[in-house]
Chain A
Amino acid sequence: MFAYIVRRILATIPVMAIVALFVFSLLYIAPGDPAAVIAGDQATPADVERIRASLGLDRPYLVRFGAWLWDILRGDLGTSIFTNLPVATMIQQRIEPTLSLMIVTLILAVSIAVPMGVVAAWRQGTWVDRAVMGFAVLGFSVPVFVVGYVLAYVFALELDWLPVQGYTPFSRGFGPWIENLILPAVALGSVYIALIARITRATMLEVLQQDYIRTAKAKGVGQRSILFMHALKNAAVPIVTVIGIGIALLIGGAVVTESVFAIPGLGRLTVDAILRRDYPVIQGVVLLFSFIYVLVNLAIDLAYTLFDPRIRY
């Protein structure tokens, strides 16, 4: 197992290298010029060139890529063209809100969606099942930003229960921290809940048809125990897979959610950097996201062994 983990972690290196090459090349060929943005309308072409030179953007592709790669290998993600701040500092400033949002959303989604899916499978064909599936369709169909606006209108503007926007660091207390995260997490989690609930239901339906479930029933095992101890554990592998895949969904959704609720996270940092062509920031954030995704996949693979003892690495 340990050797497997080490192998998987080592395998992230070529993956990250390919991502790095891809991201750098994509930005190199993409239209847009930060020097022109900085120089403004009053600048002469010579001014723009001077700014481009001062930013090192006039150097050939391979020289720039080599310098960037060398910095990355030394743990230096570079400096933002616009803010003059180290990219690592900017990521450090922004990672807590995004991680908080993702964790709260994940906890919320799993704790709601899995029981919903289980109950829907158990009560297949009844109004409970139809209600759960109806909710799932709704969750898939309504865009995150619409859910966000509706929640903000009802719970912040009308009822005045929760704030409209912003983020309070965890260091300032659990109460203020969670207060700012409830609405965004519900908005972002709606799609996720729908996805997990549907998969849980489908997988549970399949498992509930198995012989050992019938045997458990015949032995007089309780309904709750059958559902959550026998069936759910055996249905867990596809559910965990979907939860893992959904992390990417969360990263994408966080961009929208952070904008709607003015949460200063990595999603907004990425969008701002793309709009300004702040290359070092875009490269740093995309590398970070891909690294997180690789790690999440590793964690999922390892989680399989917990739910299915037949799986060994």
Chain B
Amino acid sequence: MAQVTRRSALLLAGGALAAPRIADAQAQARTLRFVPQANLSNIDPVWSTAVVVRNHGLMIYDTLYGLGSNFRPRPQMAAGHEVSDDGRRWVISLRSGLRFHDGAPVTARDCVASIQRWAKRDVLGQRLDALMDGIAALDDTRFEIRLKKPWPGLAFALGKPSANICAIMPERVARTDPFTQITDYTGSGPFRFRQDLFRPGDRMIYERFEGYVPRSEAVDFLAGGKQAHFDRVEWIVMPDPSTASAALQNNEVDWWETPLPDLLPLLRRNRDIQTELVNTAGNLGVLRFNFLHPPFDNPAIRRAVLPAVDQRAFMNAAIGTDPALSTVPAGVFTPGTPLANDEGLSVLSGPRDLEAARRALREAGYRGERVVMLSATDLPVLQNLAEVAADLLRRIGFNVDLQAMDWGTHIQRRTNRGTVDAGGWSAFCTTWEGLDVSVPGSHMPIRGNGANAWAGWPTLPRLEELREAWFEAPDLAAEQAIAREIQRLVWQEVPFVPLGQVLPLMAHRRSITGVVKGGPALFWGVRRT
């Protein structure tokens, strides 16, 4: 039930003013006011990889498959699929009643065009693009994908929740060049985006799409029946955490996606507010090395860092000392997901030994080269991770130059492949969405494809082979065996160091119930009681 504050009570008592206020209060009861993690700066979830854009995409677009809370794919827009020709031909059929927000039925041709556009941009999509021998609509409700070789993970790829999602758009929209933003936001999901009310940096308005037909099963993360219980969802952008905190306490908003850890004790003291772990996959902290230049072009030097890495120290700095807000030890894959394992994990979970790290560094032949560590000061978690990493490297014996900059500059600096004297870098810290690094296919830090790899550009053919093997793994047991081997190899080659799993809580008014757990804030299943 919406609360009546002293201010609203005073205003309600204001005679002539009362009627519109009551109407406002009724509308408010049917409106969910949400503070997203960041401003929605653009609205094409295929064009952009930003997490907030993905979250927006999940609201207004549906996907052919959706992951359940066990992180396995289940049909969503798809009614099902048949695999034939030794796994090289998939025929996917659509369930009936699917409609776009303009009322037009969702057809197989729309799905084909959407997959083709997505396949040019997403990492798993690109894999599909390379494997695809053809894709075509068979009729209005069925389409086939022909592959050059079997890919059991196709359904996972089409339902992957991490950016970029394979959003199903009308064919006319999906024909847009994948490197150009779409301008028509006709969606297929449970909420309709009000483009006419779009005020970037301020608020985004979504309305329940009455024509959406949810699946009949119970909701299960991104799968099952996506029942929208609010007529309207307003995303209200608040760049200042203290303001968002005060607004939540004052009942001016209902739900805050990313409360600052420092403010959690304050929020917890408020009996009308509940904090809870929604994104169980969280984010994985990562210390990344540049393989192109000394000193981290030397694997022995990269390995020398491991005995001294204290994941708890990194997590304490990133999200605070409450152990419920992070998981250590964390290996290569997101803790709590099917491929997480303990292969060689003692390298990070055993007793920390700074002296061993110093000794290993000396033996590896470090010659005092300058280590440029990039730090993004406008993102507190990343800045804190960088500060701890810089301190750690200094204590081991590295000559560290910690360079502070804003995120925009950080992103660009990371693309510089030159030496540190030419504007290049040696190491940086970041976080990856837990959903991204839960499987080898979308796990960018383990890529070893040289010039095309993620910033740091390691050339590690064996890791690439293992990733390729994962795509063809016939079952979960095979996937898990590959994941163990990948983790073992990571401790040898050290393309990155996992720093722990960050588990940020969300905060909402206690009257908000049914928040779907597993990943980002989702708006189906949620209701006001």
Interface residues of A (CB under 8 A from B): 31-34, 36-45, 47-48, 50-51, 54, 80, 82-85, 90, 93-94, 149, 152-153, 156-157, 159-166, 175, 259-262, 264, 268-269, 271-272, 274-278
Contact = CB atoms under 8 A, between A and B. Distances in A.
A45 B409 contact: no
B42 A83 contact: yes
A51 B179 contact: yes
B202 interface: yes
Contact of B39 (A31, A41, A94, A272): A272
Contact of A157 (B48, B50, B202, B246): B246
Contacts of B47: 38
Contact of B408 (A32, A39, A41, A153): A32
Query: Number of contact residues on B: which range applies?
Result: 35 or more
A40 B7 contact: no
A307 to B, nearest CB: 40
Interface stretch (B79-87, B236-244, B385-393, B486-494): B236-244
Interface of B: 5-7, 17, 39, 41-43, 47-50, 121-123, 163-164, 177, 179-181, 183, 198-203, 236-240, 242-244, 246-247, 249-250, 252, 378, 405-409, 411-415, 442, 444, 451-452, 454-455
A93 B199 contact: yes
Contacts of A153: 246
Contacts of B412: 31-33, 36
Contact of B200 (A36, A54, A85): A85
B101 to A, nearest CB: 18
Contact of B49 (A42, A276, A277): A42
A140 to B, nearest CB: 23
Contacts of A54: 177, 179-180
Contacts of B50: 40
B254 to A, nearest CB: 14
Contacts of B48: 38, 40
Candidate in A36, A40, A94 with the most chain B CB atoms within 10 angstroms = A40
Nearest to B47: A38
A160 B7 contact: yes
Given A38-B48, A152-B243, A33 B411 contact: yes
B7 A37 contact: no
B201 A264 contact: yes
A164 B49 contact: no
A160 B411 contact: no
Contacts of B236: 166, 262
Nearest to A175: B17
Contacts of B181: 84
A92 to B, nearest CB: 11
B246 A165 contact: yes
A259 B415 contact: no
5 contacts: A41-B444, A90-B200, A164-B247, A259-B243, A275-B378
B246 A268 contact: no
Contacts of B179: 47, 50-51, 54
Residue picked from B183, B238, B451, most chain A C-beta under 10 Å: B238
A179 B409 CA distance: 39
Given A40-B50, A50-B179, A156 B378 contact: no
A164 B183 contact: no
Contact of A37 (B246, B408, B444): B408
A38 B44 CA distance: 11
Contacts of B43: 83-84
A269 B519 CA distance: 29
Contacts of A39: 49
A93 B200 CA distance: 9
Nearest to B42: A82
A260 B240 contact: yes
Contacts of B201: 94, 264, 268-269, 272
A149 B163 contact: no
B411 A152 contact: no
A32 B415 CA distance: 10
Contact of A36 (B121, B249, B415, B452): B415
A56 B202 CA distance: 27
Contacts of B408: 31-34, 37, 274-277
Given A34-B408, A38-B42, A165-B246, 8 more contacts: A42-B444, A54-B179, A94-B201, A161-B6, A165-B238, A262-B237, A262-B240, A275-B407
A82 B409 CA distance: 17
Nearest to A264: B202
B445 to A, nearest CB: 9
B49 A45 contact: no
A31 B250 contact: no
Contacts of B5: 160
A259 B240 contact: yes
Nearest to B408: A32
Nearest to B124: A42
Contacts of A264: 199, 201-203, 237
A152 B33 CA distance: 20
Given A160-B5, A268-B239, A275-B408, A262 B247 contact: yes
Contacts of A31: 405, 408-409, 412-413
A262 B239 contact: yes
Given A160-B6, A163-B250, A40 B200 contact: no
Contacts of B202: 93-94, 264
A260 B203 CA distance: 16
Contacts of A278: 41
Contacts of B238: 165, 262
A41 B286 CA distance: 13
Contacts of B415: 33, 36, 45, 48
Nearest to B125: A42
